[in-house]
C-alpha cells in the first residue's frame, strides 16, 4: 500500500523519532510513504488568514490526488486541518473554484477524491487489527498507560467522528493489543496546552500540569499518544517544567509508533527511544 | 593602451569592492543601533577563529568540505542532477577558460614551452571549455526563462549575471571567428613570419589558407588546382605549422567563421577583429570590476561559507564569529531558489503576496536590514510578517547549496526585528511554538515584550467601550461586522446562541482562572453575545479570543449547534484584517 505522508513541520527539529518510528513500523507492515512535495498543512494560519490555511491543505490534497494515493497524517492538528479543508471545499464551490484557480499554475486541481486518515485509522481500518496482531511478537506486562487522544481526532465531532468504531475506541483497542493496561482518567480528552506555548507559557504550562497531575493520580506510568504537537508539549515542554521545578512528579510520554514498534520487536534505537527528552527506557523492562 | 588602462582600473575597482564587501561582514549586523561587538572586535575574533582552526584537527574537515562541497558541489547534486550538471559546466568551464586562456601569460605559457593559443591541444580545449560553459548557460536560461515554475523569481541581478557571462562568451567566439576569416590578420602574419621565393609561392600559401584555414581573401577563391595546394602545404609546413593547428579544431569559432564568411571581407576592412577584441576584454573587465557587488560574489562567499559552516557551531564558536558568519552568508546566497522550492509555506504567497514569506526573497530584505538603511514603518511590518510566517521546518536549511544555516538566520533576524517594537499579531498564533521552545536563548524581557505587544496594539486600535461602565449605544453597533460573519456558513451560527453559558463552562482556558474575566476580558459566550450585538472592538480586545486553544470543547458541547470555536477563528481573521488596514494607513501617513 502506498500513502502520501503529511509530515508535521515540528518533527524535523524536535521530533525526529516520530518520523523514524513511523517509517520503521509502517515499513514492516508493508506501507510505502511518498511525502516529498507536500507543504505545511496550514494549521498555524487558521486564525491569521483562513484562505491561506485552506490553500495550504488544498495543495497537499491535490498533490495526493495527482499521485493517485490517499493521505496519512501522524499529527492531530494536520489531521483536523486536512479534514476541515476537505469538508469546506466540498460544501463551498465558490471557494473551491478560487483555490483551484491558484493551484492551476502548478497543474494541480482539488477534486475531493482523496481519503484523509490519521495513522491510527490506517493501522485499524486500512491494515486491520488482525494484521497488526500478526506482527506483534512481544507483549507488555504490567504497563499502565494513560491514553492521550488529543483534540482533533475527537473534535469537532461532525468532522472527524463518523466512523465506527470512533477514533477514541480505535486508539484504545490498538494500545490494548500491545498488552498494555489502559488506565481511565478524567482529563483524557482535554487539550495538552501546546497551542498556547510561546503565546502565554504560564497558561499553557498550567493546562499541561493539570493533565500530568491527573494522569499521575490515576495510577498510569506513561502517556501514550499519536500527535506531534501533543508529544512536543508532553515531552519537551514537560522536561522544561521539570527542570524549572514547576512540576515534581513527571509523567513520561511514549509515541504510539514507539510502543507498537517495541511490541513488534523493532530495535529501540531505530524507534528513537533515547531521543525522548524524558527518559522512557524503563518501559523496555515491561516487555514480557 | 585602452587595454592596460581598463585592466588596471577594473583591478582597482575589484580590489576596493572586495575590501568594502568583506568589511561589511564585520561591520553589519541585525541589532542596530545597539551593537554587541565592534567591527574590529569581530575582525580579531574571526582571525583568532581561523588560526585556531588551522592548528587543529578540523583542517581535515575543511579539506573534506573543500573537496566534496566546493569542488564536487555535492549539495547541488542532492538537490537536482540537472542543476548540478549546469553548475559544474559553468564553474569548471569558466575556471578552466580563465586559467588556460585569460591568464595564459601567467600560467599556460610558463607551463608549456611551445604554447601558442592557435595550437592544439590549446586551440581545441579553449573551444571545448567554451562549449561546456555554453551548455551551462543554456540550461540556466531554460530554467529561468522557459520552464515556468511558480514562485521562482528571476531578479535584475540574475539577469545581469547571465548577460555579462553571455557577452564575454559570445564576443570571444566571434573574435575567434573574425580572426580565422581575417585577410588583414593573414597578411600581417605572412609579412611577419613567412619567407617567400616569388609571387607564386605567396599565392600557393594563400590558396591553402583559403582552402583549409578559412581565410576569406579578396584575391583568391576556391577551387584551386591540386598542385598549387600541395606547394602551399609545403610552405605552410615550413612557415606556419609550428604555431597553427587546423582551425576546424576550434569547432565553435570555426562554425561562427563559416557563418560570417559572406560578410567577412567588408567587416574585416572595417576592423571587426579590433572591435570584438575590445568588447571581449571590456566585458571581462566590467565583470571583474563589478563582481564584488554582483551575485557573482558568491564565487568567493559561498565556498567560504561552506568551509566556515563545516567547522563552526552556535554555542561553541565565538558569538562575534556567528554574527560575522551570518553577514557573510547573505553574500553566499546565489538566489538559486532551492529554499523556496522546498519551503513549507511558499504556497501561501498566492494568498498573502508578501515576497518575504519566500526564503530566497527574504534574503534581499535581510541585506537591507543588515546594512542599516532606514526603512519605513510599513516596510518593517511587511518584513516582520514574512519573517514570522515560517514553520521552522528546517527544509530550506537542509537543501541550501551554499550551506547557509537559514533556520538560525531567520530566528536571529526575527528576534532582532521584534525588538524594534512593531506589534506582530502572528505572535498570537501557533507559529510561536518554536520561539517558545527556544526561549531559554532569549532575554526574558525581550521574549515577553513581543508577546504583550500585539495585544497592546489591538487594545490601542480597538478602543471603543473601553470603560466597563460605558453603556452600549446603537452608535457602537457595527452592522458590517455582523454581516461579514453572517455571510459564512460557520460564522453565521452565532445567531443561534441563547446564552446558556455551556461553552464558557467547558472551556479549559476559562476553567484555569478563578476569576476569568479579570484576565480574559470576555469569556466565549460573551464573545458570541457581543458579536450578535455587533461590537467588534469589545470582541477583538478580549484576551480570550487570542487565548482560544482551538480544542473545540465548546463547539462539541453547544446545545444550539453554534460553531463556537469556528466563530472565534473567523473573528480573529477579521481582527487581523482590521489591524492590517490600520497599519497600512498609519504607515502611509508616517
Pair B123, B245: CB distance under 8 Å = yes
Same structural domain for residues B277 and B364?
Answer: no
d(CA A72, CA A33): 9
Of residues B391, B451, B570, nearest to A200 (C-beta): B451
Q: Quick one: pLDDT band at residue A165, thresholds 50, 70, 90?
A: confident
Total domain count for chain B? 3
d(CA A216, CA B225): 107
Domain end among B250, B281, B312: B281
Which ranges in A104-234 belong to alpha helices (H)? 119-121, 129-135, 157-160, 167-177, 201-217, 228-231
Q: Give me B433's grid cell.
A: 511554538
Same structural domain for residues B255 and B341?
Answer: no
- Is A195 close to B549, i.e. CB distance below 8 A? yes
d(CA B572, CA B494): 14
> What is the crossing angle of helices A93-103 and A50-67, to 10°?
70
Residues of A in contact with B451 (CB under 8 A): 198-200
Average pLDDT, chain A: 95
- Is A39 close to B344, i.e. CB distance below 8 A? yes
- Is B433 close to A40, i.e. CB distance below 8 A? no
**Does A48 reach chain B within 8 Å, measured CB to CB?**
yes
Q: Which of A40, A85, A159 to mutate to test the interface with B (most CBs of B within 10 A)?
A: A40
CATH number of the CATH domain containing B559: 1.10.1060
- Is A155 close to B553, i.e. CB distance below 8 A? yes
Neighbours of B105 (CB within 10 A): 9
**Does A98 reach chain B within 8 Å, measured CB to CB?**
no
- Is A52 close to B351, i.e. CB distance below 8 A? yes
d(CA B161, CA B294): 8
Neighbours of B39 (CB within 10 A): 17
Residues of A in contact with B430 (CB under 8 A): 43-44, 77, 194-195, 198, 229
d(CA B16, CA B301): 16
**Please, which residues bridge with residue A224 across strands?**
A147, A254
**Does A150 reach chain B within 8 Å, measured CB to CB?**
no
Range name among A134-138, B108-112, B299-303, B457-461 with the lowest pLDDT average: B108-112
What is the CA B334 to chain-centroid distance, rounded? 4
3-state secondary structure of B113: coil
Instruction: Tell me if domain A2-118 and domain A130-286 are identical in fold.
Output: no
Among chain A residues, the shortest Cα distance to B550 is held by A195
Please tell me the predicted confidence (pLDDT) of residue A162: 65
Of residues B425, B509, B553, nearest to A48 (C-beta): B425
Please tell me the predicted confidence (pLDDT) of residue B292: 96
Look at domain A2-118 and name its CATH class.
mainly alpha
**Does A148 reach chain B within 8 Å, measured CB to CB?**
no
Surface-to-core class of residue B222, CB atoms within 10 Å of its CB (0-12 exposed, 13-18 middle, 19+ buried): exposed
pLDDT tens digits, residue range B330-384?
999 999 999 999 999 999 999 999 999 999 999 999 999 999 898 888 899 999 9
Residue B470 is classified by DSSP as P
Question: Is residue B529 predicted with pLDDT exceeding 60?
Answer: yes
Of residues A12, A39, A156, nearest to B346 (C-beta): A39
**Does A100 reach chain B within 8 Å, measured CB to CB?**
no
Residue A229 to residues A43, A184, A237, B431, Cα–Cα distance (Å)? 11, 22, 11, 12
Q: Which of A15, A54, A198 to mutate to test the interface with B (most CBs of B within 10 A)?
A: A198
Please tell me the predicted confidence (pLDDT) of residue B588: 62
**Does A4 reach chain B within 8 Å, measured CB to CB?**
no
Q: Express the helix, strand and coil content of chain A in percent, nearest 5 each.
A: 55, 10, 35
d(CA B581, CA B590): 14
Same structural domain for residues B503 and B446?
Answer: no
Smallest CA–CA distance, residue A240 to chain B, in Å, is 9
d(CA B217, CA B238): 21
Same structural domain for residues B442 and B490?
Answer: no
Q: Report the 3 state secondary structure along B353-369.
A: CCHHHCHHHHHHHHHHH
Question: Is residue A230 predicted with pLDDT exceeding 60?
Answer: yes
Assess if residue B239 is contained within a domain.
Answer: yes
d(CA B186, CA B219): 13
Among chain A residues, the shortest Cα distance to B520 is held by A203
- Is A229 close to B569, i.e. CB distance below 8 A? no
> pTM for the whole thing?
0.93
Stretch B206-230: mean pLDDT, rounded?
90
Stretch A186-199: mean pLDDT, rounded?
96
Assess if residue B216 is contained within a domain.
Answer: yes
Pick from B326, B363, B299, B345: nearest CA to B95: B299
Residues of B in contact with A197 (CB under 8 A): 432-433, 436-437
**Does A199 reach chain B within 8 Å, measured CB to CB?**
yes
Same structural domain for residues B233 and B348?
Answer: no
Name the region of B342 (left: φ>0; alpha: ψ -120 to 50; beta: rest).
Answer: alpha
Stretch A236-264: mean pLDDT, rounded?
97
Same structural domain for residues B189 and B276?
Answer: yes
Percent of chain B with pLDDT over 90: 82
Question: How much is the ipTM here?
Answer: 0.97
Q: Where is pLDDT greater, at B314 or B240?
A: B240
Neighbours of B370 (CB within 10 A): 22
d(CA A37, CA A28): 24
- Is A39 close to B570, i.e. CB distance below 8 A? no
**Does A209 reach chain B within 8 Å, measured CB to CB?**
no
d(CA B355, CA B14): 32
Q: Give me B94's grid cell.
A: 569558466
Residue B475 is classified by DSSP as G
Q: Which of A5, A11, A49 to mutate to test the interface with B (most CBs of B within 10 A)?
A: A49
Please tell me the predicted confidence (pLDDT) of residue B314: 81
- For residue B220, the enclosing domain spans 181-281
Pair A117, A153: CB distance under 8 Å = no
d(CA B227, CA B298): 58
Among chain B residues, the shortest Cα distance to A152 is held by B551
Stretch A251-255: mean pLDDT, rounded?
98
3-state secondary structure of A225: strand
Q: Quick one: pLDDT band at residue B36, thresholds 50, 70, 90?
A: confident
Q: In degrees rounded to 5, what are phi and psi of residue A223?
A: -80, 150
Assess if residue B16 is contained within a domain.
Answer: no
Same structural domain for residues B446 and B478?
Answer: no
Range name among A227-241, B40-54, B346-360, B551-565 with the lowest pLDDT average: B40-54
d(CA B461, CA B451): 17
pLDDT tens digits, residue range B61-85?
999 999 999 999 999 999 899 999 9
pLDDT tens digits, residue range B162-200?
999 999 999 999 999 999 999 999 999 999 988 888 888
Same structural domain for residues B380 and B491?
Answer: no
Q: Which of A56, A57, A186, A199 to mutate to test the interface with B (most CBs of B within 10 A)?
A: A199
Please tell me the predicted confidence (pLDDT) of residue B32: 59
Please tell me the predicted confidence (pLDDT) of residue B493: 97
Residues of B in contact with A105 (CB under 8 A): 148, 150
Among chain B residues, the shortest Cα distance to A205 is held by B512
Stretch B270-283: mean pLDDT, rounded?
95
Q: Where is pLDDT greater, at B471 or A163?
A: B471
Smallest CA–CA distance, residue A154 to chain B, in Å, is 9
Return the sign of the alpha-carbon dihedral for residues A164, A165, A167, A168: positive
Average pLDDT, chain B: 93
Stretch B572-584: mean pLDDT, rounded?
93
Residue B397 is classified by DSSP as H
Q: In degrees rounded to 5, what are phi and psi of residue B183?
A: -75, -35
Percent of chain A with pLDDT over 70: 99
- Is A156 close to B430, i.e. CB distance below 8 A? no
Of residues A10, A56, A204, nearest to B348 (C-beta): A56
Domain end among B281, B298, B328: B281
Q: In degrees rounded to 5, what are phi and psi of residue A222?
A: -140, 150
Same structural domain for residues B442 and B541?
Answer: no
Torsion of CA B165, B169, B175, B176, to 10 degrees: 160
pLDDT tens digits, residue range A101-143?
999 999 999 999 999 999 999 999 999 999 999 999 999 999 9
Question: Is residue A284 predicted with pLDDT exceeding 80?
Answer: yes
| H or E, element range at B162 | helix B156-181
Q: In degrees rounded to 5, what are phi and psi of residue A114?
A: -110, 135
Residues of B in contact with A207 (CB under 8 A): 508-509, 512, 549
Smallest CA–CA distance, residue A75 to chain B, in Å, is 14
Q: Report the 3 state secondary structure along B282-339.
A: HHHHHHHHHHHHCHHHHHHHHHHHHHHHHHCCCCCCCHHHHHHHHHHHHHHCCCCCHH
Q: Quick one: pLDDT band at residue B97, thresholds 50, 70, 90?
A: very high
Residues of B in contact with A106 (CB under 8 A): 150
Residue A224 is classified by DSSP as E
CATH 3.90.1150.10 fits A130-286, yes or no: no
Same structural domain for residues B543 and B456?
Answer: no
Domain end among B242, B261, B281: B281
**CB pairs A-B closer than 8 Å:** 156
Among chain A residues, the shortest Cα distance to B453 is held by A199
Residues of B in contact with A40 (CB under 8 A): 344-345, 391, 393
Neighbours of B102 (CB within 10 A): 17
Neighbours of A244 (CB within 10 A): 10
Residue A22 to residues A13, A119, A213, Cα–Cα distance (Å)? 16, 9, 29
**Please, which residues bridge with residue A71 across strands?**
A4, A116
**Does A236 reach chain B within 8 Å, measured CB to CB?**
yes
Assess if residue B157 is contained within a domain.
Answer: no
Question: Is residue B316 predicted with pLDDT exceeding 70?
Answer: yes
- Is B553 close to A199, i.e. CB distance below 8 A? no
Of residues B344, B439, B569, nearest to A46 (C-beta): B569
Stretch B464-493: mean pLDDT, rounded?
90
Pick from B459, B568, B464: nearest CA to B509: B568
Task: Enumerate the domain spans of chain A.
Answer: 2-118, 130-286
Same structural domain for residues B424 and B492?
Answer: no
Assess if residue B193 is contained within a domain.
Answer: yes
d(CA A6, CA A64): 10
- Is B429 close to A52, i.e. CB distance below 8 A? no
Same structural domain for residues B491 and B456?
Answer: no
Amino acid at each position: 500500500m502506498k500513502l502520501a505522508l503529511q509530515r508535521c513541520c515540528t518533527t524535523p527539529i524536535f521530533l525526529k523519532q516520530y518520523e523514524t518510528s513511523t517509517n520503521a513500523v509502517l515499513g514492516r507492515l508493508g506501507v510505502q510513504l511518498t511525502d516529498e512535495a507536500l507543504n505545511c498543512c496550514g494549521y498555524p494560519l487558521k486564525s491569521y488568514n483562513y484562505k491561506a490555511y485552506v490553500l495550504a491543505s488544498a495543495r497537499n490534497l491535490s498533490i495526493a490526488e495527482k499521485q493517485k494515493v490517499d493521505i496519512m497524517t501522524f499529527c492531530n492538528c494536520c489531521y483536523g486541518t486536512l479534514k476541515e479543508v476537505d469538508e469546506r471545499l466540498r460544501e463551498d464551490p465558490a471557494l473551491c473554484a478560487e483555490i483551484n484557480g491558484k493551484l492551476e499554475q502548478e497543474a494541480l486541481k482539488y477534486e475531493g477524491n482523496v481519503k484523509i486518515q490519521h495513522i491510527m485509522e490506517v493501522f485499524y481500518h486500512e491494515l486491520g487489527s488482525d494484521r497488526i496482531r500478526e506482527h506483534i511478537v512481544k507483549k507488555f506486562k504490567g504497563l499502565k498507560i494513560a491514553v492521550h487522544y488529543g483534540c482533533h481526532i475527537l473534535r469537532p465531532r461532525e468532522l472527524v467522528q463518523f466512523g465506527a468504531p470512533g477514533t477514541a475506541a480505535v486508539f484504545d483497542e490498538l494500545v490494548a493489543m500491545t498488552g498494555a493496561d489502559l488506565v481511565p482518567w478524567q482529563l483524557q480528552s482535554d487539550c495538552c496546552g501546546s497551542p498556547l506555548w510561546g503565546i502565554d507559557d504560564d497558561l499553557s504550562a498550567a493546562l499541561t500540569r493539570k493533565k500530568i497531575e491527573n494522569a499521575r493520580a490515576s495510577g498510569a506510568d506513561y502517556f501514550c499518544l499519536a500527535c506531534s504537537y501533543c508529544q512536543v508539549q508532553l515531552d519537551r515542554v514537560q522536561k522544561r517544567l521539570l527542570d524549572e521545578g514547576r512540576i515534581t512528579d513527571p509523567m513520561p510520554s511514549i509515541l504510539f509508533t514507539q510502543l507498537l514498534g517495541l511490541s513488534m520487536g523493532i530495535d529501540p534505537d531505530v524507534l528513537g527511544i533515547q531521543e525522548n527528552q524524558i527518559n522512557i527506557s524503563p518501559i523496555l523492562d515491561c516487555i514480557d | 593602451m585602452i587595454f592596460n588602462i581598463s585592466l588596471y582600473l577594473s583591478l582597482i575597482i575589484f580590489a576596493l569592492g572586495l575590501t568594502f564587501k568583506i568589511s561589511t561582514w564585520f561591520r553589519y549586523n541585525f541589532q542596530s543601533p545597539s551593537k554587541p561587538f565592534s567591527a574590529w572586535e569581530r575582525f580579531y575574533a574571526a582571525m583568532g577563529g581561523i588560526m585556531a582552526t588551522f592548528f587543529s584537527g578540523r583542517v581535515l574537515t575543511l579539506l573534506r568540505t573543500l573537496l566534496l562541497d566546493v569542488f564536487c558541489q555535492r549539495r547541488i547534486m542532492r538537490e537536482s542532477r540537472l542543476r548540478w550538471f549546469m553548475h559544474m559546466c559553468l564553474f569548471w568551464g569558466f575556471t578552466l577558460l580563465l586559467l588556460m586562456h585569460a591568464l595564459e601569460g601567467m600560467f599556460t605559457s610558463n607551463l608549456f614551452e611551445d604554447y601558442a593559443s592557435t595550437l592544439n591541444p590549446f586551440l581545441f580545449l579553449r573551444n571545448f571549455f567554451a562549449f561546456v560553459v555554453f551548455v551551462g548557460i543554456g540550461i540556466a536560461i531554460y530554467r529561468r526563462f522557459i520552464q515556468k515554475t511558480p514562485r521562482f523569481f528571476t531578479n535584475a541581478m540574475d539577469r545581469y549575471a547571465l548577460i555579462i557571462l553571455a557577452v564575454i562568451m559570445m564576443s570571444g567566439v566571434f573574435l575567434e571567428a573574425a580572426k580565422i576569416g581575417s585577410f588583414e590578420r593573414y597578411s600581417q602574419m605572412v609579412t611577419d613570419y613567412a619567407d617567400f621565393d616569388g609571387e607564386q609561392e605567396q599565392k600557393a600559401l594563400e590558396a591553402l589558407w583559403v582552402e583549409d584555414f578559412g581565410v576569406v581573401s579578396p584575391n583568391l577563391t576556391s577551387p584551386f588546382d591540386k598542385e598549387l595546394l600541395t606547394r602551399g602545404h609545403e610552405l605552410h609546413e615550413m612557415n606556419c605549422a609550428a604555431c597553427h593547428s587546423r582551425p576546424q579544431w576550434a569547432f565553435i569559432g570555426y562554425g561562427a567563421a563559416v557563418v560570417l564568411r559572406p560578410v567577412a571581407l567588408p567587416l574585416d576592412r572595417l576592423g571587426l577583429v579590433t572591435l570584438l577584441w575590445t568588447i571581449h576584454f571590456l566585458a571581462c573587465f566590467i565583470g571583474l570590476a563589478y563582481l564584488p557587488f554582483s551575485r557573482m560574489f558568491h564565487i568567493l562567499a559561498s565556498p567560504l561559507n561552506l568551509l566556515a559552516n563545516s567547522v563552526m557551531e552556535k554555542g561553541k564558536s565565538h558569538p562575534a564569529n556567528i554574527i560575522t558568519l551570518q553577514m557573510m552568508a547573505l553574500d553566499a546566497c546565489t538566489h538559486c531558489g532551492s529554499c523556496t522550492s522546498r519551503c513549507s509555506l511558499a504556497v501561501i504567497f498566492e494568498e498573502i503576496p508578501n515576497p518575504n514569506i519566500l526564503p530566497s526573497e527574504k534574503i534581499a530584505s535581510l541585506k537591507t536590514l543588515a546594512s542599516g538603511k532606514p526603512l519605513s514603518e510599513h516596510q518593517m511590518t511587511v518584513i516582520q510578517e514574512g519573517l514570522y510566517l515560517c514553520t521552522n521546518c528546517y527544509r530550506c536549511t537542509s537543501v541550501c547549496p551554499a550551506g547557509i544555516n537559514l533556520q538560525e538566520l531567520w530566528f536571529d533576524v526575527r528576534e532582532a526585528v521584534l525588538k524594534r517594537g512593531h506589534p506582530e499579531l502572528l505572535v498570537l498564533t501557533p507559529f510561536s511554538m518554536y520561539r517558545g521552545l527556544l526561549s531559554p536563548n532569549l532575554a526574558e524581557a525581550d521574549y515577553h515584550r513581543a508577546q504583550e505587544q500585539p495585544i497592546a496594539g489591538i487594545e490601542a486600535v480597538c478602543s471603543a467601550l473601553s470603560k466597563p461602565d460605558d453603556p452600549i449605544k446603537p452608535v457602537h453597533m457595527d452592522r458590517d461586522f455582523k454581516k461579514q460573519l453572517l455571510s459564512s456558513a460557520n460564522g453565521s451560527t452565532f445567531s443561534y446562541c441563547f446564552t446558556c453559558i455551556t461553552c464558557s463552562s467547558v472551556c479549559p482556558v476559562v476553567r484555569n482562572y478563578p476569576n476569568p474575566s479579570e484576565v480574559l476580558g470576555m469569556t466565549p459566550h460573551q464573545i458570541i453575545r457581543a458579536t450578535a450585538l455587533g461590537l467588534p472592538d469589545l470582541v477583538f480586545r478580549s484576551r480570550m479570543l487570542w487565548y482560544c486553544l482551538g480544542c473545540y470543547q465548546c463547539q462539541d458541547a453547544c446545545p444550539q449547534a453554534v460553531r463556537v470555536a469556528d466563530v472565534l477563528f473567523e473573528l480573529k481573521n477579521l481582527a487581523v484584517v482590521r489591524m492590517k488596514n490600520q497599519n497600512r494607513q498609519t504607515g502611509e501617513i508616517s
